Structure 1
């Protein structure tokens, strides 16, 4: 194993030394002060319907186009959106919202309470195939009372409801267009929306352009529009920022962090982030329908080395924290899940892993072999290569398969994989948001196919618990059931890394890593 790791360190070093000279130096190109804000994202949006799409790129674009009863401000805090007033009953089960006067869609049609009732019904309708049904499962009903009053009833008290309602899937959607043309409503140009921007054009894999919505109820955005531009190569995105060809990149190569902080510290943004990075097993078929095999592979992964060395971190202040569970420690007051073997020496863990594989029928005469799927990214590739290298020492032959993001996640939804890169970024800051996707009610988002009634019952009891302290303990118990089944291989908890031009204002670091475009603007320094 030591020999394998030394080989991999050499590979990592090669990655880190690539293009550290003149190719990374900025040229004299400049972005004009009145040009749209250019935001780089790691993949193109996979669609425009916020109730159907769940990938991070699509959600971020949708948040610029659609607004609900609540929304996020520049600090990642939830504030009132289309609603001007919010009240909650003493038992926490009934929430009343009052719409602002005169709110309209971008085409001038009035936004009314009925839009939110229809939106919720569309999410929960099985015919819509919305991946967000489980996310909004806490809601019992959404009822309009007149034109401007909305009553939301819950199955259990849920203090995080305002965060949940800020998700674009529960925004006001133009049902007059959906009724008229069906699914083709997203083909309108400009596309009708309820948020601060409307879509003017979309060149696939090139640029998604948003212009200001003239009917928006709030203050005019502080810029003249936004160009969301996909760049699945983090190295290329970094070079575009250094060349002043873009204003913001939502990520950069982890291996270049030390170099960037030394040479361009004014660009680097690092912040805690409520998200977890993991690989998912397909539990529907061999070999990963056997829990012994899953546990063996998870035990043999050196997470500490991967988070501290492989990712190119620079000390505890900025390194990703190793993960053994899926819920970030900040949501448990620092007490994240750890299995009984987490503190064992690596050689002891590998010895136990070999025993588990042998008991499952795998060994020198019948080696375990499978593919590791990941979407295009040098970081995902390095994670897959690192695990494959570590597993060789327990007699496992794992091969890597790469595909672009949309194809990768389509295959996950279809269950066409053995082990694949995945992860989760919080829709709202609560443990259940990380756990609920791993149950059958999540449909195609339950990538593993996990179906354990004990886990489902434990999660339901946790969600129903009104006492905050007992609720957190119940959530931890539900996660323990799931993680003891080893349905995923957690590697680390995210931190957000971004490159932001020094002349940009309104991009405020926050744990939710939410940065609404309407608050972002350039100072005159951009013209220099």
Structure 2
């Protein structure tokens, strides 16, 4: 009986869709997208991994949504207004909104969605992203009011997150967690999940009751590909229209052989190493600065990595600071001048040939991280610095960072939203164990807090840059470069726009000529 039960279960998993191999291949009205992992969940308030969020963004829409350029635009709301102090946003809903099953909804739904996100039983992993929201209320059937604790010019981006989208509470109340098992799923966005074959593909079809014009492509296939090399090969063989990633080692080959298909675009991410400022030797700013001065960032970005990364001397990507990249005064000095100054700083801190600086560089297992670590150790030999290497798998590595068990460790940050504070607050004392370096500067915390509380955009940005400059001066982290995204996009796909958020909603893609 046990064998029969297992067999029945296997048939249930593989038989939830009658299909042929061609069902998951690019077609005249079907786009195939490769993601870097399997979907982890379908409830938009209970997911945080990128693959699941991309599928959720295709299915669920909120008051706002992101367009092909990665910017926020009206979604279920047709427009909005903001009070002068920046703390209250009023959204005007479109008329006649309904879910894909025909159930109508109005402004009263959104306070309920907010309550569900906050509820302990929901256990939302993204709840902290919205902690600046004080309340969500409705005023009549078409008005939603979002009240904030402090001004947030980025709220339109935040509300485009799937966790704040309209979910079918009428189905959730009836079916509980099983509501995501319904096919097609009941949704509020342009597509609805029609079938999901685990570790094979998920097929989405148009939501006929979506408020906007029908999505340009009838069917979207999401295929999980854990191995980026396999994804690249499938794409190049014509088995997919879009690959979310490809191996860094193949970048130059792709640029030479398939430049029209290869996309490498600046991303909302900073790659850096964290100094443990709690203990010697890196409790001394002079030591941290000396090591930073000896690093050849251009060489690391262009030769060691070689996929178009921009060298970084600061935390914030220039796209978030009006194209202005913060640099220390010594960034443009020649190497000999930098090394001479660095040696003097180390001598002042008590290090030299008779007492060489020794420490361990910790990194998580990756060819990229190893190559960067080796390069750093080699560059520091000119300072008589002895840096050894230690690598471990990612879970152990980041556990060590949270437990402060390191001297210098590979780290970095990819932002949830295209806003400076998403980077800067990581390095505050209030971030607890997530503040890996242990950076503790009340003046920095005060500038960040003042920036967040400022509604006027130009003044707010100046304060954000000031905080970034303080990080550069204190050097609790060693910035090396800004991330880029790597994608492969077929020539038959139109509507793809490179952007810093790496956002490419399926509703904005179409097959050329259609």
Which residue of the partner structure matches residue 60 of structure 1?
54
Verify the 8 A CA contact 1:135 1:436 in the aligned structure 2: no
Which residue of the partner structure matches residue 501 of structure 1?
490
Specify whether residues 366 and 307 from structure 1 end up closer, same or farther in structure 2 by C-alpha distance, changes over 3 A only.
closer
Which residue of the partner structure matches residue 80 of structure 1?
74
CA offset digits 1:392-435 (Å, max 9, x no partner): 662011223345xxx5898589658742443214513x322322
Which of 359, 364, 375 is the equivalent residue of 1:373?
A: 364
Which of 445, 450, 473 is the equivalent residue of 1:461?
A: 450
Matches of residues 381-392 of structure 1 in structure 2 within 5 Å?
Answer: 381-390=370-379
TM-score, with normalisation over the residues of structure 2? 0.79
SS of residue matched to 1:113:
coil
Verify the 8 A CA contact 1:38 1:246 in the aligned structure 2: yes
List alignment gaps of at least 5 residues for structure 1: 1-29, 314-318
Shift of 1:311: 2.6
Larger radius of gyration: 2
List alignment gaps of at least 5 residues for structure 2: 1-23
Partners of 2:161 and 2:179 in 1: how far apart? 20
Partners of 1:285 and 1:204 in 2: how far apart? 47
Higher alpha-carbon deviation: 123-132 or 87-96: 123-132
Which residue of the partner structure matches residue 94 of structure 2?
100
Number of residue pairs matched by the alignment: 485
Which residue of the partner structure matches residue 513 of structure 1?
502
Which of 375, 398, 422 is the equivalent residue of 2:412?
A: 422
Which residue of the partner structure matches residue 327 of structure 1?
316
Partners of 1:249 and 1:341 in 2: how far apart? 40
Higher alpha-carbon deviation: 280-289 or 514-523: 280-289
Question: Are positions 1:112 and 2:95 aligned together?
Answer: no
Specify whether residues 160 and 524 from structure 1 end up closer, same or farther in structure 2 by C-alpha distance, changes over 3 A only.
closer
Question: Are positions 1:224 and 2:213 aligned together?
Answer: no
Matches of residues 286-435 of structure 1 in structure 2 within 5 Å?
Answer: 295=289, 297-313=291-307, 319-346=308-335, 359=349, 367-374=358-365, 378-390=367-379, 394-403=385-394, 407=395, 411=399, 418=406, 419-425=409-415, 427-428=417-418, 430-435=419-424
SS of residue matched to 1:135:
helix
Partners of 2:288 and 2:42 in 1: how far apart? 36
CA offset digits 1:332-381 (Å, max 9, x no partner): 2332222344345446656766777785999978832253115x5x5445
Which residue of the partner structure matches residue 262 of structure 1?
256
Question: Are positions 1:243 and 2:225 aligned together?
Answer: no
Partners of 2:401 and 2:124 in 1: how far apart? 13
Partners of 2:318 and 2:32 in 1: how far apart? 33
Higher alpha-carbon deviation: 467-476 or 182-191: 182-191
**RMSD, matched Cα:** 3.9
Specify whether residues 342 and 162 from structure 1 end up closer, same or farther in structure 2 by C-alpha distance, changes over 3 A only.
same
